[in-house]
Amino acid sequence: MALRRFWIEPQSLSGEQVHIDGDLFHHIRDVCRFGEGDHFEVLPGDGKAYLAQITKMNKRDLLAQVKEDRVIEPLKKPWIHLALSVPRYPKVDFILEKSVELGVHTVSLFVSDHSFPRELKDVSESRMARFEKINRAAAQQSGRGELMHLSKPDTLENVLQAFKSRDRALGLFPYEGEAALTWQQAIRDGRKDQPEEVWLFVGSEGGFSVREVELFQQHGLQPMTMGSQILRVETACVALASVIKYEFGC
């Protein structure tokens, strides 16, 4: 039987002792039904998994002793960076979970002309807290050594500026309208520069406006097609991340 893994705050691990309280403690005790003597792994985000055994448990917290640790293989380069025009929130939940599982390094959310929230203030702090919770749960399930980076929502203009400021970054702009390149051509051309990051710019349910297509082109990103079928936003994200992992072996 596979060991359960739990993400913890770095300060919860002190030397060879783990202290857990709050919601995670109640999950371990009441949901997982763990007690003294049981083993699990903890992930503090330092690239290692620590095998711990519960030595003391009471009504509010528990103490566990670290027995051994192992290094978790880091994500290979090129890192996948998903820049996502925010769709309806249940779709964001799904995309974040699958992005973690597929080894996406970073997700940058942005608002655009046709995104579900049109203004940055429309994405609440409580919504971002939910996104982070999904991020942690998916990392815990998949056994990642580091959390996927999730940025606060920004404008498309600022996200494109951030992309342009990166060295050796390949940008891919899938578009359901008229496209100059196939995805195979775009990746083949981009491989020549041996990128360290691959940025995937995906639109929300309404796609990108003509103005935004021109903005992408001004930043050196030509529209590319994913084929004759129009993909839903969540399908496009999973398909693109999978293609990049296959093509670059990351």
SS (H, E, C) 68-128: EEEECCCCCCCEEEEEEECCCHHHHHHHHHHHHHCCCCEEEEEECCCCCCCCHHHCCHHHH
Whether 95 and 181 share a structural domain: yes
**Which ranges of 108-209 does DSSP label H, i.e. alpha helix?**
125-142, 156-164, 183-191
Whether 57 and 88 share a structural domain: no
Q: In 3-state terms, what secondary structure has residue 227? A: coil
Percent of the chain topping pLDDT 70: 99
Q: Give yes or no for a contact between 172 and 189, defined as CB atoms under 8 angstroms apart.
A: no
Q: Which structural domain range is residue 46 located in? A: 5-71
Whether 114 and 52 share a structural domain: no
- Distance between CA atoms of residues 242 and 153, nearest Å: 24
**pLDDT at residue 2 tops 80:** no
Whether 62 and 112 share a structural domain: no
Structural domain ending residue among the three candidates 71, 88, 122: 71
**pLDDT at residue 154 tops 60:** yes
pLDDT at 250: 82
Q: What is the CATH number of the domain that holds 18?
A: 2.40.240.20
Q: Give yes or no for a contact between 196 and 167, defined as CB atoms under 8 angstroms apart.
A: yes
Whether 136 and 180 share a structural domain: yes
Average pLDDT score over residue span 12-19: 94
pLDDT at 181: 86
Torsion of CA 228, 230, 233, 236, to 10 degrees: -10
pTM across the whole model: 0.88
Domain count of the chain? 2
Whether 146 and 197 share a structural domain: yes
Whether 88 and 51 share a structural domain: no
Structural domain ending residue among the three candidates 28, 44, 71: 71
In Å, the largest CA–CA distance within the chain is: 63
Whether 65 and 84 share a structural domain: no
- Distance between CA atoms of residues 142 and 97, nearest Å: 10
Whether 102 and 213 share a structural domain: yes
**C-alpha distance across the termini of the chain, in Å:** 28
- Distance between CA atoms of residues 249 and 230, nearest Å: 26
Whether 185 and 130 share a structural domain: yes
Give burial (CB, 10 Å; 0-12/13-18/19+) of 152.
Answer: exposed
Whether 32 and 126 share a structural domain: no
**pLDDT at residue 1 tops 70:** no
**pLDDT at residue 125 tops 70:** yes
Structural domain ending residue among the three candidates 71, 87, 117: 71
What tokens appear for 119 in the block?
A: 């203004």
Lowest mean pLDDT among 58-67, 74-83, 100-109, 225-234: 225-234
Whether 87 and 9 share a structural domain: no
Q: What is the CATH number of the domain that holds 143?
A: 3.40.1280.10
At 223, the pLDDT band (50, 70, 90 cuts) reads very high
